[in-house]
Chain A
């Protein structure tokens, strides 16, 4: 407490003083000069020394000249170094912050521009007492001498809601993935050229082992997007990626020793790609958005991938999945919007006529049947969007949607899910004032407070948990793949650099899945985490995630499901609703850990064969009625055949189930209601 008072006092008086501490022309000279040891405003009269050559502010371009300072904090602080001062108005600066020694500088932070038309610089980093930091300004944008300006260094012990520390990594090609590729549950880093797939494998000690896998016959890059999933179930993730000329499905060889092309589409202007088992046969299929034509997909029958476009004659999905003749398909995400246990499809659309750019929502009816429901769901907005971020933003147990606008003049939209019909709650959320636009919108809890945030184009929209959001713009990487790149339970970002989340004291859980009857990644599974503050008996429901490949527009973020727990120090249950229909429940797992669950390994939910659950007529030819004693309103039911395969899945909207499509035989009806499974047998004639 005493320290806080002192600091506030210091901040109050010091910024007025322009410090006499002078800049040095080299890092070595800064080592011999008096270091900065506290907050203040410092003047650089001319940037005429040696330019820093390690760039932490993004990019690689080195300036002609630089000026150096050494800074040694007296205590642990969050430090902001900023030239964004009124006296510098109109100037264009760039700053790098390092730790280490002059001979071996390590990136800590850096900034080129505050943003927009403001070319001044500001960066915040977490500094440790007694450590030496180097602050290097350069004249990259003002090579003519003299170039002078002021900057301010300020210290605080109040942590920013989210902050990052940068680190360099060698990842040649297009930076796309932060996802586990070798099945050790640690997120790896993936970058792509047409002939080389580079994976930086995360090691248990936090370092990366870089392996360059050459790819024979690759002609398309990951220019527009990449997704990961293990479609051939060999334990190593495969990839799908593409550019405007075509797309490759690339398969990991046995043991993860290299990659080979498994399938190619030469006819697609690729946008978002996804792995998803949309026919629910346990084999991951592939979906590809087409910018200029109807969407394409590969059906995986367990041994081959077969390509279909739109509603090709003979295509297995009648009517296709987005068949507008000139396309306009940008960001597909497979989300269980109606919480009925299967993955539905939302497509963010953009460009051309209003009809072309109206977003689409396809409800998965099972058996490769889809119904486009965007009008009924109030989701067929024609706003120009390249991606959407789906999460339970209001903690009521279903998936809401942030539709990210890509157009300067069109606002973003936050859509609240009310039983499958969406209401525009942008204004009440406070996001109506959020105007940064772009391609990328992803749902992740960056501060581990249990309320899922929105990562949108250089901002984290912090979910305050009360229906409103706080826009966090300072020090946030512009966009990238999101994963836990140092296994500390806080989500990091990869794009060129690694941006390590500085974290906080909140607790967390990561869940990784291995499917047996379901696809091996568990893509499409719904995971529910119940903890003291978030459970279905409280106003904040249990937290939910869908396992998705992928989120946002271009990148492949972690396939581990990441949950912040806030100050909760225990977890009641983790429930996994697998795409196969299997339900696993893990009771009281450890917090601040990674929980890997293999399908079917747990006892599942409490399950009872209900004598009083009466189905009639039984046997039935078409309709199956349930006795009215059961209030199954909105409960999910599944029908399994005698081999245990799920053949039907939906929500009740009356006490009647239509089983006319089923072939004759014995079946089991299962109803999940309030966390309890009830089953009963019936016969289809």
Chain B
């Protein structure tokens, strides 16, 4: 039923070694031999028990040095993950390519694709070291994605498959101040809740709008989508112009674009037509938020919080805005996002505060 890429790879290695030998013997200009990705992925037996079995990284695994074929990518506007950092990679089987659908939809990935996201902390005290916490895989089987989460051991040598949730306590330096963070590794249901599109698992970040930016690769600074095309990971039919999010941290960008970009990556997976919270009226996808009523501006708050909250966003009035209250809360029954954060995101709050205060729409 499932293809076994290891065998296919072995056959290819053999063929390529032959080709490489020929070119050399003929004395032509030395062409670098096409490389073979050492990643091992057997769709009939994934998820593996340990992360190392996939062979995504070389050297000390915790350094996250990708092997050939594992491309780094970085979404333009990052998700808040309790002050952890994320490193993301993509891998696809030989000779398969993803297909562009539109600017705002996840690329149509080929069977066998893997998205590899590692959450880790930098500047972990006492020694200001990095600490790997979890590596999340999305693996595309024949027609559906599966999710597999790996929790790193204390020795930072291996990560082991888990469907259970757990808490990790970390003391770190953030902006030169000590911060104690309780980080939650999500359980399977929580993973599914955010990746759930009408009961089908979907990636969140890998949309053209989030990848249309430059990133430093081994061979220099390149637009990520173009690099994917060049590497053979993406069909070469991209439109000339891709409507893209901006980095919400980039203060040179217009405030409304930064805010819309922030909401897209943090909120849109649930607050969309096919999402877990499709019954609330907000629609946070970047391509829908040019209409600010989709962000809740002047929309009366349906769910009771306290006597002062009146709207999802009441222009100019933080205290009457449920959206601000929820972002500012760590109480379970109020906080938003509801899953995926334990801490308050101070920088995100500052951004949203500035935005709500900048609004002057008269709700009446």
Bound together, the chains give a CA A407 to CA B277 distance in angstroms of 11
The reply to whether A59 and B189 contact each other, CB–CB distance below 8 Å, is no
Knowing A266-B165, A438-B303, the reply to whether A119 touches B310 (Cβ < 8 A) is: yes
Partner of A243, one of B187, B276, B317, B333: B333
Residues of A near B189 (CB, < 8 A) are 267, 269, 290, 292-293, 326-327
Residues of B near A269 (CB, < 8 A) are 189-190, 193
Q: Which residue from chain A places its CB closest to the CB of B331 in the assembled complex?
A: A223
B4 within 8 Å of A (CB atoms): no
Produce 1/0 per residue, B21-55, CB < 8 A to A.
00000000000000000000000000000000000
The reply to whether A57 and B332 contact each other, CB–CB distance below 8 Å, is no
Residue of B277, B279, B319, B364 with highest tally of chain A CB at under 10 A? B279
The reply to whether A351 and B302 contact each other, CB–CB distance below 8 Å, is no
Partner of A326, one of B164, B193, B310: B193
Residues of B near A57 (CB, < 8 A) are 307
A402 within 8 Å of B (CB atoms): no
B96 within 8 Å of A (CB atoms): no
Residues of B near A325 (CB, < 8 A) are 199
Bound together, the chains give a CA A269 to CA B191 distance in angstroms of 12
Task: Say what secondary structure dominates the interface of chain A.
Answer: loop
A384 within 8 Å of B (CB atoms): yes
A360 within 8 Å of B (CB atoms): no
The reply to whether A245 and B332 contact each other, CB–CB distance below 8 Å, is yes
The reply to whether B304 and A479 contact each other, CB–CB distance below 8 Å, is yes
Residues of A near B277 (CB, < 8 A) are 351
The reply to whether B278 and A244 contact each other, CB–CB distance below 8 Å, is no
A578 within 8 Å of B (CB atoms): no
B60 within 8 Å of A (CB atoms): no
Bound together, the chains give a CA A554 to CA B279 distance in angstroms of 19
Knowing A90-B364, A350-B279, the reply to whether A61 touches B308 (Cβ < 8 A) is: yes
The reply to whether B303 and A406 contact each other, CB–CB distance below 8 Å, is yes
Partner of B307, one of A113, A116, A221, A291: A113
Residues of A near B190 (CB, < 8 A) are 269, 292
Residues of A near B332 (CB, < 8 A) are 221, 223-224, 243-245
Residues of A near B331 (CB, < 8 A) are 174, 221, 223
Chain B contact patch, size range: 35 or more
CB distance from A327 to the nearest CB of B (A): 7
A13 within 8 Å of B (CB atoms): no
Residues of A near B319 (CB, < 8 A) are 61
B155 within 8 Å of A (CB atoms): no
Q: Which residue from chain B places its CB closest to the CB of A220 in the assembled complex?
A: B332
B6 within 8 Å of A (CB atoms): no
Give the contacts of B188-241 with A (CB-CB under 8 A): 189-190, 192-193, 196, 198-199
CB distance from B297 to the nearest CB of A (A): 13
A478 within 8 Å of B (CB atoms): yes
Bound together, the chains give a CA A123 to CA B244 distance in angstroms of 50
B281 within 8 Å of A (CB atoms): yes
Give the contacts of B52-80 with A (CB-CB under 8 A): none
The reply to whether B302 and A59 contact each other, CB–CB distance below 8 Å, is no
Residue of B192, B306, B319 with highest tally of chain A CB at under 10 A? B306
Bound together, the chains give a CA A59 to CA B333 distance in angstroms of 17
Residues of A near B279 (CB, < 8 A) are 350-351, 357, 384, 406-407
Give the contacts of B298-317 with A (CB-CB under 8 A): 300, 302-304, 306-308, 310-311, 317
B290 within 8 Å of A (CB atoms): no
A-B residue pairs, 10 tightest by C-beta: A223-B332, A58-B307, A243-B332, A384-B279, A292-B189, A223-B333, A293-B189, A292-B193, A478-B304, A112-B307
State the A residues within 8 Å of B (CB): 57-59, 61, 90, 112-113, 116-117, 119, 141, 174, 221, 223-224, 243-245, 266-267, 269, 290-293, 325-327, 350-353, 356-357, 384, 406-408, 437-440, 457-458, 478-479, 554
Besides A221-B332, A243-B333, A350-B279, 16 more A-B contacts (Cβ < 8 Å) are A59-B308, A113-B308, A174-B331, A244-B332, A244-B338, A267-B165, A267-B187, A292-B193, A292-B276, A325-B199, A352-B199, A352-B278, A408-B300, A438-B303, A439-B304, A479-B304
| A to B CB contacts below 8 Å, 29 in the list | A59-B306, A113-B308, A113-B310, A116-B310, A117-B300, A117-B311, A174-B333, A223-B331, A224-B333, A244-B338, A267-B164, A267-B165, A269-B189, A269-B190, A292-B189, A292-B276, A325-B199, A326-B276, A350-B279, A351-B278, A352-B198, A352-B276, A356-B199, A357-B279, A406-B303, A407-B279, A407-B302, A438-B304, A440-B304
